[in-house]
Amino acid sequence: MASRGSSKIPVDALTEKQARAEHVRLALEIGKHDAAYYQKDAPTVSDADYDALRRRYEAIEAAFPDLRTLDSLSRKVGAAPARGFAKVRHAVPMLSLQNAFDDQEVADFVGRIRRFLNLAEDEPVAFTAEPKIDGLSMSLRYEHGALVKAATRGDGFEGEDVTANIRTVKEVPHQLKGKQIPPFCEIRGEIYMKKADFLALNKRQAEAGEQVFANPRNSAAGSLRQKDPGITASRPLHFFAYTWGEIADKAAPTQSGMIEWMDAIGFKTNPLWKLVRSVEAMLAFHREIGEQRARLDYDIDGVVYKVDRLDWQERLGFVSRSPRWAIAHKFAAEQATTVLRDIEIQVGRTGALTPVAKLEPVTVGGVVVQNASLHNEDYIRGIGNDGEPIRGGTDIRVGDTVIVQRAGDVIPQIVDVVRDKRPKSARPYQFPTKCPACGSHAVREEGEAVRRCTGALICPAQQVERLRHFVSRAAFDIEGLGEKQVQAFFADGLIMQPADIFTLKARDARAARKLAAREGYGEVSVRNLFDAIDARRKVSLNRLIYALGIRHIGESNARLLARHFGTIEALRATLKDAAKDKESEAYQDLNSVEGIGEVVADALVEFFKEPHNNEALDRLLAEIEVEPMAAVTTDSPVAGKVVVFTGSLEKMTRDEAKAMAERLGAKTSGSVSKKTNYVVAGPGAGSKLADAKKHGVPVLTEDEWFKLIGETR
């Protein structure tokens, strides 16, 4: 891993070796921050620090294009589908947006658009600009104009079926009107609740002794996710339409035209949207909406800009986490001052020790905040990720008066200390060097900001967390095995490893004291639990890989591995051979998977060469059936092929070429192997041509590539 010293070297002064090493380090660090933010609601850095990491990462990729992958900075989108609702697979993923937090980042976004499309300086670029509604994302499917399915975003790929509930929302048409109605279309937008309705609902809830909601967004989500549609119908929900998913025919060639079309066929669109044609106009709109924010009767947390021309949107395409052609310009976070009463240490499933601030309750942006992440021990000491002082070098101590803000108006974090209010008795916080859960040594690896427990096999915090991760929604998603149940079964020795979940029913049949006799259980609840477990005896390969809890393997990397290897047997065989020699073909195959670098490959190899892990996996595989992950389906001539782009492409940028191949169902790689199907080479192509000749891989010019895929340019 690269030393942090290289992060102080200007990007244009980095050698290729330094850039490659720092690129890996930044990817891992950003990946960990993303996992903490999106999966645990516990950010490990401030927005500013995170943005700085992202900017440097992107600057390195701009200077060294061969380092760029389609999985760069991938994040979990939203949250996994909630239990209690049927699941709906989105035909077109519902991805999140990139964020901009200041004017310069908006200008950079426009600059990236121009560079990607290779536009002349005087070529005009129009954007739609609209308020970013703080609500619940929704996808509505219509067939021959009739509403047939409604689904939440979920994890971006799979959402919750809330069709019955959405039919009760008055602003969602059951039948589209007009003549320009395609055979099928998915209209997407935001379910929200007006501020006055939210306050009135909370008042009624409090008077009835029912749940009160933290903010209008939560109240809208909670109201829609009712098992009884009658309850949803009683709640004052609204809907703004602003985009589309799968659609047979587009009614207009522009984003603005499509907004007008959605309005014409019966949807309510935000009347404040505007067409802007310069960075100055975009920023002026942001200021204008910011000034109106407090007077609007619904919550917004920023402004969204989208490239207006749909053909340009198509060319720009997507990265794994968001479209290249849109960005959310967020408003500054709200802040409040309170007192830090204590610092508690939580131990995560990987053994990471995370400090949590226990605060005197304070309202920030309409939500009562009592806890906030302190990220890591360096952050408490007033040291940033680059080793430089933050907050003027002021550390954080118990008893301090601190400034709290909700990052992106959502997640609480301590951003500063009011030094002149520090009690004389306050002492520097001593971060523990032993795990509070098991007493094992807690150590920091070189270059790591996180301190970890070394007692992986004996630490109860890690064992329980690994089991909780295994049954989580993005993994095996076993209903009825929540945090409390996993903790209780583990404490009683009933479930110690994943395989124990699937042998529980058989063991219970032989046990003298049945599960049904446990407090809180009965014949029906136990039968439901066993049915839920049996329903997960068949699982997709990507979910299995993610469920194993391997370090650095999130949902995105699990999908990449599942698509590349197809079966668990093929993955294990490759990893077994890769463990013998880093120069082996198996290791090179693993390392060449798009988005899987050396550090991730090493983590996989280490996990699968550990006998204990293989024994546990063998026990698990004896109880379940693993389904191969379906490949991308498309009729294109390059579907399923592996393509490498090299040299200075003249008719498209490298990013555009990779995005195009991905849309056509191909896989792109950064290196040539015998599994490569095509090398597309521009002028200046180097060693990859020699590799292509060595492996007998066809080499295409750009014109030949366009002819192959049936396009002209």
Catalytic positions, written as ranges: 132
- H or E element: which one contains 370? strand 367-373
Inter-residue contact 116 to 655 (CB < 8 Å): yes
Task: Round to whole Å and give the CA distance between 131 and 553.
Answer: 35
Task: Round to whole Å and give the CA distance between 316 and 113.
Answer: 8
Q: In 3-state terms, what secondary structure has residue 597?
A: coil
Token pair 């960005």 in the structure block, residue = 327
Residue 213 has a CB neighbour count (10 Å cut-off) of: 18
Task: Round to whole Å and give the CA distance between 81 and 34.
Answer: 19
Q: In 3-state terms, what secondary structure has residue 360?
A: strand
Inter-residue contact 343 to 337 (CB < 8 Å): no
- Using CB atoms within 10 Å of the CB of residue 207, give its burial: 0 to 12 exposed, 13 to 18 middle, 19+ buried: exposed
Task: Round to whole Å and give the CA distance between 320 and 322.
Answer: 6
Q: What is the DSSP string of 236-252?
A: -EEEEEEEEEEESS-S-
Residue 48 has a CB neighbour count (10 Å cut-off) of: 13
Task: Round to whole Å and give the CA distance between 347 and 603.
Answer: 21
Task: Round to whole Å and give the CA distance between 580 and 577.
Answer: 6
Inter-residue contact 653 to 679 (CB < 8 Å): no
- Using CB atoms within 10 Å of the CB of residue 699, give its burial: 0 to 12 exposed, 13 to 18 middle, 19+ buried: middle
Inter-residue contact 328 to 302 (CB < 8 Å): yes
N-terminal to C-terminal alpha carbon distance within the chain:
42
